[in-house]
Amino acid sequence: MIDRASVITVLDAILDPKSGQGLVASGLAKGLTVADDRAGFAMEVPVADAALYAPVRDAAEAALRAMPGMTRVSVILTAEAAPAQEPRRTAGLSSAAIDQTRAKAPVPTDRPAHVRRVLAVASGKGGVGKSTVAVNLAAALSARGLSVGVLDADVYGPSLPTMLGLSGKPGYEDGAIVPHEAFGLKAMSVGLLTGAGDAMVWRGPMASQALTQMLTQTRWGTQAQPLDVLVVDLPPGTGDVQLTLIQKTPLDGAVIVSTPQEVALADARRAHALFQKVNVPSLGLIENMTGDIFGRGGAEAEAARLEIPYLGDLPLTAAVRQGGDAGTPVVIAEPDGDVAHRFAGFAEAVAGALGL
């Protein structure tokens, strides 16, 4: 278990080149999250200082990774710029593409263009199957005839590339990122910009906050063919990083995933409280991995306590895990199976709540 105090000690041993103070002491490290085996924070610097701080970001990441027991590290460096002065840089784009964006990139707005609804899938606790639910719920919404996109915003461990069998950097056209497509779903992941399998590493300056950029600069839909719903797979947890993200993302509703045991439910409660804080309706709680190991029914009782809809449960089954590993979500691989049937029910409830 990593503790916050030792993370702060490690970060304060690295000096902010401008103030000469440690990264935490100087206030440079923002939204520091420390949980079990992971840590992350963001540094926001003026674009003119981006080159100065890139090695600082690298040093902080290396120092955190070297801590015993640390498995996931996310250090985000964002540079806020006046768009006219600096090219918008997106990790993985060629310099020609970047130059092209100078003239053509739309100014990011809060809401992604041509997207009717934005739905978050969240969990207070990691590893409860949030990404599995996000991808299969997206597939089930698509099976209802809706046009659907999935944005993997899980900066700690992007799993969408594996779950949908995606690889390769996204294309870029007329100033917009062209999302990948899989099984009829539009898909974007931090993992596609930074290299699959790695924790998120943003190198170099970015014109705007990294995820806002993916949200608003990806061509999810067009005027003629708007996207009905964008499913956003949020990073697990209820800390500052999550709060900042949901404050920056125009969400129409959230689905919370939990396993049945109390420790996960306590975190689901915190996730609900976080959404309440920013006036995003919790559209329902899904209990995942129901069965002999974790028990059952905990989430249903919790949903009743929180006065939010209980959408149902998902058993712990090999088909669900295999679907994720093989890159074909179980809802698509076994459309007539029990799991697909359950997701059809979740999708019906969610689409209804979103007015779709």
Ligand X SMILES: Nc1ncnc2c1ncn2[C@@H]1O[C@H](COP(=O)(O)OP(=O)(O)OP(=O)(O)O)[C@@H](O)[C@H]1O
Sites of contact with ligand X (CB under 6 A):
123, 126-132, 154, 157, 159, 236, 288-289, 314, 316-317, 320-321, 324
Nearer to ligand X, 159 or 209 (CB): 159
CA angle 277, 141, 248 (to 5 degrees): 30
Residues 6+ away with beta carbon under 8 Å from 174? 104
What is the DSSP secondary structure assignment for residue 282, as one 8-state letter?
E
Name the burial class of residue 280, with classes exposed (0-12), middle (13-18) and buried (19+) by CB atoms within 10 angstroms of its CB. Answer: buried
Tokens 């697990």 belong to: 236
Nearer to ligand X, 54 or 196 (CB): 196
Strand partners, 119: 231, 253
Count of CB atoms within 10 A of residue 21's CB?
Answer: 13
Name the burial class of residue 285, with classes exposed (0-12), middle (13-18) and buried (19+) by CB atoms within 10 angstroms of its CB. Answer: buried
Nearer to ligand X, 56 or 314 (CB): 314
126 assigned ligand-binding residue: yes
Q: Give the shortest CB-262-to-ligand X separation in angstroms.
A: 17
What is the DSSP secondary structure assignment for residue 234, as one 8-state letter?
P
Q: Give the shortest CB-127-to-ligand X separation in angstroms.
A: 5
Q: Give the shortest CB-14-to-ligand X separation in angstroms.
A: 27
Nearer to ligand X, 195 or 315 (CB): 315
Q: Where are the alpha helices (DSSP H) in the chain?
A: 4-12, 50-65, 95-104, 130-143, 160-164, 190-194, 210-217, 240-248, 262-277, 298-306, 318-326, 330-333, 338-353
Q: Give the shortest CB-232-to-ligand X separation in angstroms.
A: 13
Dig out the tokens for 308 from the structure. 């939010």
Q: Give the shortest CB-118-to-ligand X separation in angstroms.
A: 18
Q: How far apart are CA 223 and CA 113, in angstroms?
A: 8
125 assigned ligand-binding residue: yes
129 assigned ligand-binding residue: yes
Nearer to ligand X, 126 or 221 (CB): 126
- The greatest distance separating any two alpha carbons of the chain, rounded to the nearest whole angstrom, comes to 61
Nearer to ligand X, 110 or 338 (CB): 338
Nearer to ligand X, 180 or 342 (CB): 342
127 assigned ligand-binding residue: yes
Q: Give the shortest CB-210-to-ligand X separation in angstroms.
A: 17
Q: Give the shortest CB-63-to-ligand X separation in angstroms.
A: 23
150 assigned ligand-binding residue: no
31 assigned ligand-binding residue: no
**Helix (H/G/I), strand (E/B), else coil: 69:** coil
- Give the residue among 320, 272, 330, 319 at the shortest CA–CA distance from 299: 272
Residues comprising the binding site?
Answer: 124-131
Residues comprising the binding site for ATP?
Answer: 124-131
